[in-house]
Amino acid sequence: MGQIGRNDPCWCGSHKKYKQCHLAFDEKLKIFREKGYTVPEHDIIKTPEDIEGIKKSSEINRACLDYVAEHIGEGVSTQEIDEWVARITRDMGGTCATLGYEGFPKSVCTSINDQVCHGIPSEDDVLQNGDIVNVDCTTILNGYYADSSRMFIIGDVEPKIRQFVDDVHEAVNVGLKEVKPWVCLGDMGNAINMFCKSKGYSVVEEIGGHGCGRDFHEEPWVSFVSKPGTEMLMVPGLCFTIEPMVNMGKHDIFTDEDNGWTVYTDDGSLSAQWEVQLVVTETGYEILTW
């Protein structure tokens, strides 16, 4: 982390003296590091300025998903959803982070039924009665990223499917209860996994959450099948997503060989995901995007 004098300006850009700002924080990090914990570097700790920037980007992100919630329904194509998100984002001065990201061709991800994630919007994918669909939206505004997703139920579904979607939403809340400063991410991931198992579901192992804020995907990678006391230490200023991908059947998945993006459940079972973006605080957490 380099040497900073006690009276030098703090590395976080607060313009306060180091001893009045992050000195105690860094000393605590050092203690945990020496004990063998994985601790975050300075470059992924978000400052108050960063957090305000993410919140402004989040206003666009939530406006997009709110609009989808009001207009989605039977007969709507996923291409229409993509166009809604692109238009609202543009009109509010933002940019869709997914468009062109590593070659992804659309402005939002729309994953239907047994699609786990990274579904590509298409005029050919028209929502039908009984479908469930995840809409995953990532927004950039003034260099700050806001990332969240929601599930939508189309028309009438069996009670067990509606319960499944609700349970996956509750899994996020279960994880949030474990977000505490100076506790490991593994505690949160394990809580989500144990809850989902108790309901008879399985959590996808290969794909998880991630740091987010100044870039689309930052450290840490966030597992939702982790063990207590493992993974990176959650500390004030750490910003990441909670987004467990949960299958009604087995956890095994595969990626569409034709488009190279869309991930499916291997057994054809339904999959659901909700995503929030949060920052760890001195007393717990603050949800930034939902």
Query: Chain-wide mean pLDDT for the chain?
Result: 97
Q: pLDDT value at position 270? A: 98
Please compute the mean of the pLDDT values over residues 11-37 and round it to a whole number. 93
DSSP 160: H
Q: How do residues 257-286 score in pLDDT, each as one tens digit?
A: 999 999 999 999 999 999 999 999 999 999
Q: How do residues 124-143 score in pLDDT, each as one tens digit?
A: 999 999 999 999 999 999 99
CA distance 62 to 150: 10
Beta bridge partner(s), residue 197: none
Q: How do residues 181-220 score in pLDDT, each as one tens digit?
A: 999 999 999 999 999 999 999 999 999 999 999 999 999 9
Q: How do residues 63-91 score in pLDDT, each as one tens digit?
A: 999 999 999 999 999 999 999 999 999 99
DSSP 45: B
Q: pLDDT value at position 13? A: 85
Give the tokens for residue 12. Answer: 């976080």
Q: pLDDT value at position 2? A: 57
C-alpha distance from residue 151 to each of 46, 164, 263 (Å): 28, 11, 16
Q: pLDDT value at position 194? A: 98
Please compute the mean of the pLDDT values over residues 226-232 and round it to a whole number. 97
CA distance 278 to 178: 13
Is residue 25's pLDDT more than 70? yes
Q: Find the farthest-apart pair of alpha carbons in the chain and give their distance in angstroms, rounded.
A: 64
CA distance 274 to 15: 38
CA distance 278 to 157: 31
Q: pLDDT value at position 15? A: 86
Long-range contacts of 174-180 (CB under 8 A, 24+ apart): 175/224, 175/242, 175/244, 176/242, 176/276, 176/278, 176/285, 176/287, 179/234, 179/242, 179/278, 179/280, 179/284, 179/285, 180/234, 180/280, 180/284, 180/285
Q: Where are the domains of the chain?
A: 41-289
Q: How do residues 35-63 score in pLDDT, each as one tens digit?
A: 999 999 999 999 999 999 999 999 999 99
- Give the residue carrying structure tokens 């062109």: 100
CATH superfamily to which 41-289 belongs:
Creatinase/methionine aminopeptidase superfamily (3.90.230.10)
Is residue 1's pLDDT more than 50? no
Please compute the mean of the pLDDT values over residues 146-154 and round it to a whole number. 98
Three-state SS for 12?
Answer: coil
Q: pLDDT value at position 14? A: 87
